[in-house]
A and B are shown apart, each in its own frame.
Chain A
């Protein structure tokens, strides 16, 4: 069933399309199908189409004769013509994470607050297949869905100035990996030696929207070994195909 979408002008050269205010896979699939439908039209006025959880922003080329009202009418037409995305194989990437307390600097604190053993937290964190909804915030930062509600935990009141590259963290109802050293307010529970953004690659982030990530636990030595291979550019990330 098609959703009732809202279309809003966003600045001089963009249109924001919004779905109901929810994060779920049904909206993700509808939005992905719409994105494909827009791109297939090869509308010359369109520069790029960006997506988030429940929104699409269509950015137009900054020309004087651009009429956003006409473009909205076109977008509505594209939406009515979009195809339902057929079930197709998507990748589930296996992501190694070292949950050693030297990396997971907030794991002990989280364990005390949640009255849950560190092992239990790790097990719950490694269980779901997390859906990659989109990338944003920083180069290669993936927005994931599917965190176990028992692991929900608010962001820190005061963000840390420096969070290590590869830090695996929980912020509110989300979990994620810091692709680069940066400031941040999430609770750090581990570290992955995998590189989520590589400018030398044509697709700098291996994870495509719609793929899944699944974490598995490694020890410090394995972390060091994988990191060496990653830095040398020879590490092959494992994945399997998941049927949806």
Chain B
């Protein structure tokens, strides 16, 4: 078990997602930055489907009630063991029963991933542990929660070095995109704008979507007949709002789908926050 002493800004249990229910209107959900989360599980030799904790901006304070090993990847939120020993990112760290894991200031990125040996064992709903409103009983972890994990005695500290990560994943404003299904409806001017302009990430961002606003993108494109949307789809509203759909996005939508982020770009987007810059690479 792991007990939650402080929950952090927005900490939730996520795995690679809930598949097979999109035709019932259920979002895929799952880790926002799947690249970083997969690395955390890979370091521990976990199954790819093991559930991890997704930490947002400020991490939680957790106490472990059994021995295990952990790996933290993604954003650098200054993790500390027992309030004194800084914990290295992107490597395996052994944890003793009673150890306290807390987090401090954000050094880079926005979302961090905490994997434990064999994964978090919170209840599976419709084949996934990913927390989502109306599906799982809670949408994030709360103070006082007990998160089930397997006990793992005698795990030797890995002799592997720290995995080197590419900091472009966190720092670069460039996002690789493809044309969306309605890209061709755009005027030449708007196409140029989408390709060449650096957009600024607005305030309203969450696991469902990021929003970018630009007055020059104001338009009178017709809405489309409600159709399927996917994580990474960039919708354009008449008011000039670009909505970048993320993992918890609805399964269908009616705004023109002008761009589609490549899978890696969705992971990169998940590390952005208010004020960051975005440049689409078509």
Name the one of B20, B21, B25, B181 contacting A16, with C-beta atoms under 8 angstroms: B181
CA distance A17 to B25 in the complex (A): 19
Tell me how far the C-beta of A81 lies from the nearest C-beta in chain B, rounded to whole angstroms: 23
Most buried by A among B134, B253, B260: B134
CA distance A48 to B22 in the complex (A): 9
The answer to whether B178 and A143 touch across the interface, beta carbons within 8 angstroms, is no
Q: Cβ of B105 < 8 Å from any Cβ of A?
A: no
- Smallest CB gap from A56: residue in B: B228
Q: Could you give, for residues 43-58 of chain A, a 1 whenever the CB lies within 8 Å of some chain B CB and a 0 otherwise?
A: 0000110111111010
The answer to whether A139 and B26 touch across the interface, beta carbons within 8 angstroms, is yes
Cβ contacts under 8 Å, A203 to chain B:
24
The answer to whether B262 and A11 touch across the interface, beta carbons within 8 angstroms, is yes
CA distance A143 to B254 in the complex (A): 13
The answer to whether B260 and A11 touch across the interface, beta carbons within 8 angstroms, is yes
Q: Cβ of B23 < 8 Å from any Cβ of A?
A: yes
The answer to whether A12 and B263 touch across the interface, beta carbons within 8 angstroms, is yes
Q: Could you give, for residues 92-136 of chain A, a 1 whenever the CB lies within 8 Å of some chain B CB and a 0 otherwise?
A: 000000000000000000000000000000000000000000111
Q: Cβ of A14 < 8 Å from any Cβ of B?
A: yes
Interface residues of chain B: helix, strand, loop or mixed (majority): loop
Q: Cβ of B250 < 8 Å from any Cβ of A?
A: yes
In A128-178, the 8 Å CB interface with B consists of 134-141, 143
Tell me how far the C-beta of B264 lies from the nearest C-beta in chain A, rounded to whole angstroms: 9
- Smallest CB gap from A52: residue in B: B227
Name the one of A10, A53, A180, A197 contacting B230, with C-beta atoms under 8 angstroms: A10
Cβ contacts under 8 Å, B181 to chain A:
8, 10, 16, 18
Cβ contacts under 8 Å, A40 to chain B:
none
Tell me how far the C-beta of B280 lies from the nearest C-beta in chain A, rounded to whole angstroms: 14
Tell me how far the C-beta of B75 lies from the nearest C-beta in chain A, rounded to whole angstroms: 24
Tell me how far the C-beta of B63 lies from the nearest C-beta in chain A, rounded to whole angstroms: 30
Tell me how far the C-beta of A161 lies from the nearest C-beta in chain B, rounded to whole angstroms: 13
Name the one of A48, A55, A57, A141 contacting B25, with C-beta atoms under 8 angstroms: A141
CA distance A18 to B224 in the complex (A): 12
Q: Could you give, for residues 14-29 of chain A, a 1 whenever the CB lies within 8 Å of some chain B CB and a 0 otherwise?
A: 1010100111000000
Cβ contacts under 8 Å, B125 to chain A:
199
Count residues on chain B whose CB falls below 8 Å from chain A CBs: 33
Q: Cβ of A205 < 8 Å from any Cβ of B?
A: yes
- Smallest CB gap from A135: residue in B: B25
In B202-251, the 8 Å CB interface with A consists of 225-228, 230, 232-233, 250-251
The answer to whether B20 and A197 touch across the interface, beta carbons within 8 angstroms, is no
Q: Cβ of B133 < 8 Å from any Cβ of A?
A: yes
Name the one of B21, B22, B26, B232 contacting A11, with C-beta atoms under 8 angstroms: B232
The answer to whether B250 and A137 touch across the interface, beta carbons within 8 angstroms, is yes
Q: Could you give, for residues 179-220 of chain A, a 1 whenever the CB lies within 8 Å of some chain B CB and a 0 otherwise?
A: 110000000000000000101000111000100000000000
Tell me how far the C-beta of A215 lies from the nearest C-beta in chain B, rounded to whole angstroms: 20
CA distance A50 to B134 in the complex (A): 21
Name the one of B250, B252, B262 contacting A12, with C-beta atoms under 8 angstroms: B262
Name the one of A10, A22, A54, A204 contacting B26, with C-beta atoms under 8 angstroms: A204
Q: Cβ of B165 < 8 Å from any Cβ of A?
A: no
CA distance A199 to B253 in the complex (A): 23
CA distance A118 to B24 in the complex (A): 32
Tell me how far the C-beta of A14 lies from the nearest C-beta in chain B, rounded to whole angstroms: 6
Q: Cβ of A76 < 8 Å from any Cβ of B?
A: no
Tell me how far the C-beta of B253 lies from the nearest C-beta in chain A, rounded to whole angstroms: 8
Q: Cβ of B155 < 8 Å from any Cβ of A?
A: no
The answer to whether A137 and B24 touch across the interface, beta carbons within 8 angstroms, is no
Cβ contacts under 8 Å, A51 to chain B:
23, 228
Considering the complex of A and B, which 6 residue pairs feature the smallest CB-CB distances, nearest first?
A: A136-B252, A57-B228, A11-B260, A135-B25, A52-B227, A55-B227
20 contacts between A and B (CB under 8 A): A10-B181, A11-B178, A11-B262, A12-B263, A13-B263, A18-B181, A51-B228, A55-B225, A57-B228, A57-B230, A136-B252, A137-B252, A137-B253, A179-B25, A179-B134, A197-B134, A199-B125, A199-B126, A204-B26, A209-B23
Chain B interface (Cβ < 8 Å from any Cβ of A):
19-27, 125-126, 133-135, 178, 180-181, 225-228, 230, 232-233, 250-253, 257, 260-263
Q: A21-B225, A59-B230, A179-B25 are in contact. List 18 more A-B contacts (CB 8 A).
A: A10-B181, A11-B260, A16-B181, A16-B227, A16-B228, A23-B225, A50-B23, A51-B23, A52-B252, A136-B228, A136-B252, A139-B26, A139-B134, A140-B24, A197-B24, A203-B24, A204-B21, A209-B23
Chain A interface (Cβ < 8 Å from any Cβ of B):
8-14, 16, 18, 21-23, 47-48, 50-55, 57, 59, 62, 134-141, 143, 179-180, 197, 199, 203-205, 209
